[in-house]
Amino acid sequence: MFKNQPKGLFALALANTGERFGYYTMIAVFALFLRANFGLSASTAGLIYSSFLMFVYFFPLVGGILADKFGFGKMVTSGIIVMFLGYLLLSIPLGSGTVALVGMLAALLLIGFGTGLFKGNLQVMVGDLYNDPQYASKRDSGFSLFYMAINVGALFAPTAAIKIREWAIGLGFDGNSAYHFSFAVACVSLVVSIAIYYAFRSWFKHVEGGHAKGEKAQVVDNLTPEQTKKRMVALFLVFAVVIFFWMSFHQNGLTLTYFADEFTQRSSEGIASMPFNVWNLVAVIAIVYALFSIFDREATGRGKLIGVGVVAVACAYLYWQYTRLEGSIEISAPIFQHFNPFYVVALTPVSLAIFGALAKKGKEPSAPRKIAYGMLVAAVAFALMVVASIGLNTPETQAAARAAGMPETLVSPYWLISVYLILTFGELLLSPMGISFVSKVAPPKYKGMMMGMWFVATALGNFLVQVGGHLWGNLPLWVVWAVFLGVCVISALFMFIMMKKLEAATSEC
């Protein structure tokens, strides 16, 4: 899995891991912070949350255009500096008045713009590592590994956000001020990220781009106008579809978090409580990777022996954790957000093994086909939410019941855990494959801009996340999830209808 990859991939992936850890630590509690600190309604908090996500994914277009002129490396460095200033401002507790609101919005703007300079351009650099013929066949697997590294940072973020907030409350800070300590973690993570970037810069400096002062950037583009047009059409068809995937998927930070907070049992005990400890999940990940090393035909005897040892230690650790269980544990809503990155990290080798086996038989689906399948899988996840929500109160009725001390309608946390598993399957089919598709199909002279357009499509989807917030009120819960079920199915059908055009553009690359 890790063999025959350019070493620059691992340096860039680790740099991105640090940045993503800080970002997802903030995102884990941001929607709840908006409602608690400013007393906002679910709808208004959803508007701010989705608008922020939109800018985070819109600004990579600007970053891509600038990078096509000044170089990808310069934009990545500039992005980290701007993001740091934004997180620093967000970490200052300014209260809940007008000054605090303006300060928060300014911080969000800085974070969004800095992310725009950093995120897309780092991924273009990853893609350019595979322009070398010796690595060309590893492009899809390389982006899967890169995507896995992103989610290593995201895996620990919810636990970090919760524990740091609890620690701050323990020091005597009120609940709202304690949120800012979670935001401050991002500042530290960015320092780590830039340190990794420059420590291993020699591994990927050749793909940073840029040119000497007074010179024009040299881009080799041998495509005919007709070929360029065909590729651009294929790219924009994909962009149109991913809008609706992200509109649905990023309900994890809004309505799915609301569901975790308002409709999910707030405690768990026995073996059922073990998945809520992030270190137990790390042990499971270790077992998965060790098993792959054991059954890898190319692995040495020593490697297999190490794998057996890792499995034994991880299983012993999980058993020890089980014997220490006493009573019930409290389940905090943000903790559910660690399941998606856990599944990404754990399932990436499974995904690579499946598609690697299919590739050897000449049956691996094309990137556009994988994206279409991803939309269908996401639809299945929301179908499960429809089933889980039948018979539950509306959000307004649930809030009234809680306020009056009356019985609430609550469900098992394993509904959400299962939904995140299915959504992750869809994500693995769509997101890394989509990024790989853009890096491969984009005309060379528009590469930075087209990677930026991928994020613009993501931005539009994130802006539409607020639809969930507007639906969250007096409608039956199953209706909320049925909306996202519908858009995922329609998007998948559109992809299958356009498949010939999409695959034709891919085959020419």
User: pLDDT (tens digit, 9 = 90+) per residue, 36-90?
Assistant: 889 888 888 888 988 898 888 888 888 888 887 888 899 999 999 999 999 999 9
pLDDT at 143: 82
pLDDT at 219: 52
Inform me whether the pLDDT recorded for 273 exceeds 60. Answer: yes
Helical H segments across 71-133, by residue range: 72-90, 98-129
Helical H segments across 200-329, by residue range: 225-249, 255-262, 278-294, 301-323
Residue, of 21 and 4, whose pLDDT is higher: 21
4-8, 223-227, 381-385 — most confident range = 381-385
pLDDT at 420: 95
Question: What tokens appear for 299 in the block?
Answer: 């692995």
pLDDT tens-digit series, residues 256-272: 999 999 999 999 999 99
pLDDT at 211: 44
Q: Select from 218, 248, 145 the least CA-distant residue to 464.
A: 248
* Phi and psi torsions of 329, nearest 5°: -115, 150
**pTM attached to this predicted model:** 0.80
β-partners of residue 269 are 328
Q: How confident is the model at residue 197 (pLDDT cuts 50, 70, 90)?
A: very high
Inform me whether the pLDDT recorded for 160 exceeds 90. Answer: no
Give the CATH number of domain 7-203+224-266+331-507.
1.20.1250.20
* Phi and psi torsions of 264, nearest 5°: -110, 140
Say how many Å lie between the first and final Cα of the chain, rounded. 24
Q: How confident is the model at residue 479 (pLDDT cuts 50, 70, 90)?
A: very high
pLDDT at 212: 39
Amino acid at 291: L
pLDDT tens-digit series, residues 420-465: 999 999 998 888 788 888 888 888 778 778 877 888 888 889 889 8
Residue 328 has a CB neighbour count (10 Å cut-off) of 14
Cα 341 to chain centroid distance, Å, stands at 7
CA dist 146 and 400 (Å) reads 45
Radius of gyration of the chain (CA): 23
Inform me whether the pLDDT recorded for 218 exceeds 60. Answer: no
Q: Select from 299, 3, 289 the least CA-distant residue to 137.
A: 3
Mean pLDDT value across the chain? 88
Extract long-range pairs of 289-298: CB within 8 Å, 24+ residues apart: 289/349, 290/314, 292/1, 292/349, 292/353, 298/3
Q: How confident is the model at residue 318 (pLDDT cuts 50, 70, 90)?
A: very high
